[in-house]
Homo-oligomer: A and B are copies of this chain.
Amino acid sequence: MTGPGRPRLVESRRPGASGREEILDAAGELFVTRGFAATSTRAIADSVGIRQASLYHHFPTKESILAALLDSTVEPSLRYARTLADLGGDPALLLWALTAGDSWNLLTDRSNLGRLYLIPEADAAGLSAFHAKRRELHGIYRTLAAQVVADPKDPRCALPVRVTESVIAIRADDPTMAAPADGPLPASAGLVADSALRILGIEPTDALREAGTALVATHRHAAPPPGDDRPE
């Protein structure tokens, strides 16, 4: 047995260390390739090779699977963004590092889950925690951008996060743009970060890119600081 519930019907064929992660992996693939409404919990269980009862042990509803998947697309980036904002220092450098690390995150999940952001079911009430996190993440982008241009009312402040999220459409049109989660910063993530600064009128220097790449490497997988009691 790999976890709670009934014994598996078949060998695991999914990435993921736990039954929960295998369910998320299978559901993400099916939601993106067939659609949320067209995917049953039965189809997800079949794809993992478990019984539906085992799936319900982890997730009471299909909506709760969608909530967990969408959360997984913002939670690591939000934690990373909070870490960068707490560091302080040159806002252009912090914004470059945020844009590079966040777009890297969006390039790594196996199924390009950001495609689910715009489906109507993502507006459901049960997804309010995801939306709150995404709003907080967007707010950190805006705050850093406002510091870069020294004007919180500059309408350009809304754009850097949109450039980051454009990697979702880039991957949807060209699946080869997906990048491994580890290894060096993908060139496309650096390009997106350069673009975010250029929109704000800053031409990134090689020194800024180097320092930004180091920040990404050090902090992108940072755990929450001990005693961090901000609501997640």
Contact = CB atoms under 8 A, between A and B. Distances in A.
One complex includes copies of this chain to the number of: 2
Contacts of A162: 163, 166, 169-170
Given A169-B165, A199-B198, A155 B35 contact: no
Interface in A200-231: 201, 203
Nearest to A112: B118
A198 B202 CA distance: 9
- Chain A binding site: helix, strand, loop or mixed by DSSP? helix
A38 interface: yes
Interface residues of A, number: 33
Interface string A68-101: 0000000000000000000000000000000000
Given A165-B169, A166-B165, A188-B155, A120 B33 contact: yes
Across the A-B interface, the 8 shortest Cβ-Cβ residue pairs: A37-B37, A162-B166, A115-B118, A195-B199, A37-B38, A35-B120, A198-B198, A35-B37
